[in-house]
């Protein structure tokens, strides 16, 4: 997958166009220029979502008098393809109107998302190790969606059932509904929840070998990174949602909300068996996020025989020279198209800069 051209209109603070090369593309500009916005726009072509959780209307240039933003890209997939997204105001509707096109023809979001795959490392998700469980869940759900086109649909239905079930639990707690009505929602909740759990556990199992190999390469000091799935409804890889809901029903009714399920779970990063978010240094935590991205790339290459576009925003911040050189050497081994942003040219070695494209 190669992104050849990108044109942005009213996207955040960017109204400009770019030409890119295969291999490693580096953008070195001062803070405030819009480097993260540029990578976000590329990532948006893959997911049709902001990695920062912004709504579509929030990504329009607020200083512009226009009521839309547009992202247009020329890509080389198995053949030349043009991708275009237009987000515009929809009179009478609080939600923005989203139009997506492939080579000039309107298409569905699902088909559009299947065109370009990206994995992104940014200051936002660099904190995946030390951040809150919801950020980790959302980030891993995004990763799963790159491998499974139906996962977003399952998540959407699960969230609807979760919301409906929580409302019912609250009414039961207040004495306004019968406990018997929970049976229907419990069945749907368990079925969808176990489907999500199965896909989450599969991704971690598939990544295990690649995480091990990348950690040996990028830490360079004998550290072994592992990621465990922490859940009240999973025991030794066995799903026990139905049992947990049955035994914990009175607790949920008293709380007036659901207490168990994938929306409560977490991912634990372990370095040599120790919980990385509490025992690891800031640099070790950031490297763990980079290792995860390398592992995802290796798995994607194996599953689809194609290389996704890799996006690294401010990758070398808070890393010492030894680890920066390790990462440079690892990046040069990849066959992907790669985008790296930084505000400091001094963070890169001269030999590395000679082998890449400065945008």
What pLDDT digit, counting tens, does each position of 211-260 carry?
999 999 998 777 899 999 999 999 988 999 999 999 999 999 999 999 99
Question: pLDDT tens-digit profile of 189-202?
Answer: 999 999 999 999 99
Domains 1-117+306-359 and 130-303 agree in fold: no
Q: Do residues 290 and 100 lie in contact, with contact meaning Cβ atoms separated by under 8 Å?
A: no
- Interstrand relation of 357-358 and 24-28 (parallel, antiparallel or unpaired): parallel
Question: pLDDT tens-digit profile of 131-153?
Answer: 899 989 999 999 999 999 899 99
Q: Which CATH number fits domain 130-303: 3.30.60.50, 1.25.40.10, 1.20.1050.90, 3.20.20.70?
A: 1.20.1050.90
Q: How far apart are CA 249 and CA 112, in angstroms?
A: 42
Question: pLDDT tens-digit profile of 5-15?
Answer: 999 999 988 99
Instruction: Fill in the DSSP letter of residue 86.
Output: E
Q: DSSP letters along 273-284, please?
A: TEEHHHHS-HHH
Question: pLDDT tens-digit profile of 29-56?
Answer: 998 899 999 999 999 999 998 888 888 8
pLDDT bucket at 92, cuts 50 / 70 / 90: low
Q: Specify the fold of 1-117+306-359.
A: Rossmann fold (3.40.50)
Q: How deeply is 134 buried, as exposed, middle or buried, from its count of CB atoms within 10 A (0-12, 13-18, 19+)?
A: exposed
Domain boundaries, the chain: 1-117+306-359, 130-303
Q: What is the mean pLDDT of residues 325-335?
A: 95
**CA neighbor of 44 nearest in space, from 103, 137, 106, 109:** 109
Q: Which residue has the tokens 């890119």?
A: 20
């Amino acid at each position: 997958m190669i992104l050849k051209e990108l044109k942005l209109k009213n996207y955040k603070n960017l109204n400009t166009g770019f030409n890119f090369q295969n291999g490693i593309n580096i953008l070195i500009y001062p803070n405030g220029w819009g480097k993260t916005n540029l990578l976000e726009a590329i990532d948006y072509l893959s997911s049709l979502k902001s990695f920062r959780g912004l709504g579509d209307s929030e990504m329009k240039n607020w200083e512009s008098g226009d009521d839309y933003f547009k992202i247009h890209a020329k890509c080389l997939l198995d053949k030349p393809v043009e991708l275009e997204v237009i987000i515009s105001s929809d009179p009478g509707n609080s939600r923005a109107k989203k139009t997506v096109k492939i080579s000039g023809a309107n298409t569905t979001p699902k088909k559009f998302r299947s065109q370009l795959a990206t994995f992104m490392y940014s200051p936002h998700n660099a904190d995946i190790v030390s951040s809150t469980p919801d950020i980790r869940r959302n980030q891993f759900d995004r990763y799963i969606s790159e491998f499974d086109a139906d996962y977003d649909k399952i998540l959407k239905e699960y969230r609807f059932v979760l919301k409906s079930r929580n409302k019912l639990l609250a009414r039961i707690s207040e004495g306004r509904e019968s406990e018997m009505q929970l049976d229907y929602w419990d069945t749907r909740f368990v079925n969808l929840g176990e489907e999500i759990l199965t896909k989450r556990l599969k991704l971690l199992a598939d990544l295990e070998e690649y995480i091990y190999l990348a950690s040996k390469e990028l830490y360079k000091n004998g550290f072994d990174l592992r990621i465990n799935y922490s859940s009240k409804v999973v025991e030794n890889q066995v799903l026990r949602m139905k049992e947990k809901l049955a035994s914990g029903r009175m607790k949920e009714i008293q709380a007036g909300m659901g207490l168990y399920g994938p929306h409560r779970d977490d991912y634990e990063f372990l370095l040599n068996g120790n919980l990385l978010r509490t025992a690891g240094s800031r640099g070790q935590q950031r490297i763990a996020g980079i290792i995860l991205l390398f592992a995802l790339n290796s798995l994607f290459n194996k599953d689809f025989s194609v290389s996704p576009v890799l996006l690294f925003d401010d990758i070398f911040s808070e890393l010492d020279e030894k680890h920066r050189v390790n990462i440079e050497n690892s990046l040069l081994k990849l066959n992907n198209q790669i985008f790296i942003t930084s505000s400091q040219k001094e963070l890169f070695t001269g030999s590395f800069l000679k082998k890449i494209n400065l945008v």
